[in-house]
Amino acid sequence: IAVNRLPNVCVSIIVADLQADKTNLLLQALAEAINSNVDNNEVVRKTLQSLGDTNENQKPSCSRDRKDLS
């Protein structure tokens, strides 16, 4: 949301240590978001708004499978 594009990684799989080779791509995406000087409050608001339609019992999906959140 912060950089108006989704990273080409599945965060939950990286965290589970199943795709450690993709960690650098995730870190690059995080660095880009940090260095883009976005309004953090606005990014949090948009993120929470986009998650408002999710179900607590729903299995988390990979970030690349989500719709464009911008």
pLDDT in tens, the chain (70 residues): 787 877 788 888 888 888 888 888 888 888 988 898 888 899 899 889 988 866 555 665 664 444 444 4
In this structure, the dihedral spanned by the alpha carbons of residues 43, 48, 50 and 55, taken in order and rounded to 10 degrees, is 160
What is the structure's pLDDT at 67? Answer: 45
What is the structure's pLDDT at 54? Answer: 61
If we measure between CA atoms, which residue out of 41, 49, 35 comes closest to residue 3? 35
